[in-house]
Amino acid sequence: MSTSRPRSRLDSVERLPQAAALFFRHGSPRLLAAYLLVLLALRSWHGDLALGDLGAVLGVVIYWPFQEWVLHIHVLHMRPLRWRGRTIDPLAARTHRAHHREPWNLDFVFLPRSVIVALIPVNTLVWWAITERLGVALTGMAAMAAAALLYEWIHYLTHTPYRPRSRYYRSIWRGHRLHHFKNERYWHAFTVPWVDTLMGTNPDPGTVESSATCRNLDGRQ
């Protein structure tokens, strides 16, 4: 399982302050951070915290890890489809294939900004539909934005030379490296690695054949 990488601007990222400085030089993290700050400001201005706010946060905490797993398999690893003479190949899937080809290229590590922009109104409409309270909706939207920013940060960190300190982060780091360099058919979870165990995609690496298409998803059979 080779994880060698070319020398790049990542070589200076060995400590968290260095990692954070490079992280926020990129547009997607800045966009998510700005979106989160706006939502937090609106929630603070609205006031009137209630039990429903806690429910919204808990709902996101439960929902987010499973949607990571589902979207990773069914959207990010989606193959181009032909339908009525047209090719359906979402930007997120194209970017993810490039990410597997060049896992150390930060241009492909982050969610495309256009995808984030498209999901902002979706986030708004979903929370507007499931709750009648503006405050709770703002809390839910902020929780989703925070989860997305956390995902971007941890995913980015696994593609830097920064070495895991905590046992929890080590499990994320190990699973993601296995996904990229052992077999792309497994280890789809991210911020909550045990979702892979629950969904049957966390096998003993010693029992899994090394895939020839980890770096070339276009070559999958």
DSSP E strands in 26-177: the ranges are 81-83, 86-88
User: What is the token pair recorded at 141?
Assistant: 């939207």
CA distance 95 to 206: 30
Give 210's DSSP letter: P
Residues 6 or more apart in contact with residue 101 via CB below 8 angstroms: 215, 216, 217
Given this model, what pLDDT does residue 162 score?
A: 85
Rg (CA), the chain: 18
Q: Is the pLDDT of residue 122 over 90?
A: yes
Place 7 in a pLDDT band, splitting at 50, 70 and 90.
very low
Residue 2, pLDDT score:
47
Structure tokens given for 40: 């937090």
* For residue 99, pLDDT beyond 50: yes
Residue whose C-alpha is closest to residue 102's, from 216, 218, 2, 220: 216
What pLDDT shows up at residue 6?
A: 45
